[in-house]
Amino acid sequence: MYTKDSAIQEVITALKKAIGKGFEVTVDMLETPPDSKLGDIAFPVFELAKGKERNPTEIATELAAKIGPGKYITKISSAGPYVNFTFALTVVTEEVIKQVAKMKKTYGNSKTGEGKNVLVEYAQPNTHKEFHIGHVRNAVLGQAVVNVMEANGYKVIAASYIGDVGAHVAKALWGLKKFMSDEEIKDIPKNERAKKLGEIYTKATQFVDEHEKAKLEIAEVQQKLEAGEEPWHKLWKETREWSLREFKSIFEELNVAPDVWYFESEVEKKGKVLVKKMLTKGIAKKSEGATVVDLADEDLGIFLILKSDGSSLYATKDLALAFEKDRKFDPDRQIFVVDVRQSLYFQQLFATLRKLEYTKKLTHLAYDMVNLPEGAISSRSGNIVRYEDVRDAMVLKLVEETQKRHEDWKEKEVTEVAKTIALGSMIFMMLRQDPKSIITFDMEEALSFEGFTGPYLLYTIARIESIKKKAGMKSKVEAKLLTNRLEHELIRRLANYPDLVQDVGAHFQVSSIAQWAFDTAKLFAEYYHEIQIIDEKNQELTQARLALAESVGQVLKNSMHLLGIDVLEEM
RNA sequence: GCGCCCGUAGCUCAGUUGGAUAGAGCGCCAGCUUGCGGAGCUGGAGGCCGUACGUUCGAGUCGUGCCGGGCGCACCA
């Protein structure tokens, strides 16, 4: 049990005793006071005062007087309508630091999800299109959700789902043949192939807008592709690999690690079979030549599941895929990390799955878009910022910065560190904001590494590592010596961390981990400037402070790990 | 037209699920390095929390109207 939980138990027991029968004190009635000067756990008495015709402030005063100190709580006081409990600092400090030291990477983990099996679908880019910063948000958010759920004891299947067929593929391939000769295609440098596909896609889209006829040609290509006709099939197979190879290396960089890869091309046929079955069962019907599911009775309108020309849609494949996943992994719950614009679509999909007697829990984890200052990202119009361009710009700037700081480092070392910082910076940028809010991506801001950024966190962690090295001695928990105000604050934050992990595991507001980490790092920076950790004249004190610094470093690392950010010993 | 989301400091965003004096980053101004890493720290200026009612002990948070913005609503993905 975590120290905070023990303290809470103590508080609840004491409150129960003081209040007597007729009122049930529960864990969620307790809060954290806004300022640690007030205390570490607060009990607002409003609820309790409701039945009685008495002033809440009086009741709080009375309660505070009735309760005496315990093992974890030393001071009980009232402030207005609140009863505040202050940690017995020595006990709590010692226990927290020891627990962090013992649990290390697992500090913060819980068993809430034990025995439960969850499948998270995320990282669903389309082949033949650019991988842009919007995709980064999706992949990185999904991975963070996976990480947090695993930390909470769930068995998680992380599933990527790649859009490797459909109209966009036909368009890209048509464009490739239209705008380039076979020779030119062959001569595209290996590392530019994926990029070229994206460019061609945009060019083709613009061409179609001006030439009606092209539309027909592309539709023809799509039908030939679905029928497996050459030379299109061969070209598809080859170019698909171009994109996939790129995705794999991007995922690896971003610490996005799916356990399974699904492809639209693999579920397309199954989807069409399922649609046929739905027609005979009467769940679906024909309408204007297309196949639809009528969800009007659920206020969800009409759900289109097959085009009138018999070719497939997202829905065709998603229906089949849900059952595929179920057959293979038997998850208790499926979570879909997809942008908010698909909300209605997912409601329709889930309602249809229920009609097909799929009974397990389905969740659409909606996040909002990444916009550019010029407006929405659009592969169609070419208004995009490619992931790799951002990364390269960041790395370039960070190489320069790192070189300045470490003139003795070898080039390889500099590049590697710069890259880690760049990726950490990008991931942090995508996760620091609430998933439900729009991110306006500003290149200039992305290239600033001060303040509420990934590098700030990495810097704090590296600094702690540096102190440890410099001290040249082992830490030793001596809680009695850690009585500084900031030490108390830091301990309090560490004690709260497990709660946070559990909360995010339930609600997926990943950004609060980033926020927690930043606030904690900031607090440590303040501490660092106010107090000399290494005190040459006082070894005991140094060891005690080192123990605290180590704990802070460890838990910061843990929080970064949940976000999928690699940390550095030096930077 | 119907539905969903948003409006908090000049800009970008938090705000403990209705609680204590509304916070942070950037930017701006003034400082800090012969002391563990200055990607840092300290201080300052900057707010009718879009607006009007309502719900109650208490509203940035909940409800309704209005204003302003974004997104979605059948063959795109």
**Domain spans of chain A?**
3-87, 123-376, 387-563
Q: Which nucleotide is nearest to A402 (CA to C1')?
A: B39
In angstroms, the CA of A213 and the C1' of B10 are apart by: 50
Euclidean distance between CA atoms A205 and A465, whole angstroms: 52
Length of chain A: 571
Element (H, E) at A336: strand A333-339
Q: CB < 7 Å to strand B — which of 357-396 in chain A?
A: 368, 376
What one-character DSSP code corresponds to residue A163?
B
A289 in contact with nucleic chain B (CB within 7 A): yes
Q: How many angstroms separate the CA of A532 from the C1' of B40?
A: 15
Give the nearest nucleotide to A523, CA to C1'. B41
Rounded to whole angstroms, the Cα distance separating A154 from A361 reads 15
A144 contacts A431 by C-beta, under 8 angstroms? yes
Nucleotides of B under 7 A from a protein CB: 4-6, 12-17, 19-21, 24-27, 35-37, 39-42, 57-58, 70-77
Q: Which nucleotide is nearest to A527 (CA to C1')?
A: B41
A55 touches strand B (CB under 7 A): no
CA A526/CA A229 separation, integer angstroms: 66
User: Where are any strands of DSSP class E within A382-474?
Assistant: 439-440
* Right CATH for A387-563 from 1.20.120.330, 3.40.640.10, 1.10.730.10, 3.40.50.150: 1.10.730.10
- Cα separation, A515 vs A562, in Å, equals 13
Q: What per-residue confidence (pLDDT) applies to A380?
A: 76
What is the ipTM for the molecules in this complex?
Answer: 0.96
Determine the distance between A532 (CA) and B35 (C1') in angstroms: 8
Q: Which two tokens stand for residue A46?
A: 């409003």
Distance CA A272, CA A198 (A): 29
Sheet containing A260-263: give its strands across: A260-263, A155-162, A117-122, A333-339, A361-367
Protein residue closest via CA to C1' of B75? A307
Through-space separation of residue A25 CA and nucleotide B55 C1' in angstroms: 26
What is the predicted pLDDT for the residue at A383?
A: 85
Distance in angstroms: CA A485, C1' B60: 30
What is the structure's pLDDT at A48? 86
**Tens-digit pLDDT string for chain A (571 aa):** 999 999 999 999 999 999 888 888 888 889 999 888 899 999 999 888 876 767 888 899 999 999 999 999 999 999 989 999 999 999 999 999 999 999 999 999 999 999 999 999 999 999 999 999 999 999 999 999 999 999 999 999 999 999 999 889 999 999 999 999 999 999 999 989 999 999 999 889 888 888 888 888 998 898 889 889 989 999 999 999 999 999 999 999 999 999 999 999 999 999 999 999 999 999 999 999 999 999 999 999 999 999 998 888 999 999 999 999 999 999 999 999 999 999 999 999 999 999 999 999 999 999 999 998 888 898 777 788 999 999 999 999 999 999 999 999 999 999 999 999 999 999 999 999 999 999 999 999 999 999 999 999 999 999 999 999 999 899 999 999 999 999 999 999 999 999 999 999 999 999 999 999 999 999 999 999 999 999 988 999 999 999 999 999 999 999 999 999 999 999 9
Q: At what angle do helices A89-103 and A3-19 cross, to 10 degrees?
A: 140
Q: What residue is closest to B19 (Cα–C1')?
A: A44
Nearest Cα residue to A149 out of A510, A465, A474, A548 = A510
**CA A440/CA A305 separation, integer angstroms:** 34
Q: How far is the CA of A179 from the C1' of B27 (A)?
A: 47
Q: How buried is A289 (Cβ within 10 angstroms: 0-12 exposed, 13-18 middle, 19+ buried)?
A: exposed
Determine the residue type at A35. Answer: D
Using the structure, give the distance in angstroms from the CA atom of A29 to the C1' atom of B18, rounded to a whole number: 13
What's the pLDDT score for residue A452?
A: 96
CATH superfamily of A123-376: HUPs (3.40.50.620)
Domain A3-87: give its CATH architecture: 2-Layer Sandwich (3.30)
Q: Which of residues 305-334 of A touch strand B (CB under 7 A)?
A: 307-309, 313-315
- Give the distance, in angstroms, between residue A451 CA and nucleotide B45 C1': 20
Residue nearest to nucleotide B4 (CA to C1'): A343
Q: Which residues of A314-332 are buried (b: 16+ CB within 10 A; e: fewer)?
A: bbbbbbbbbbbbeeebebe
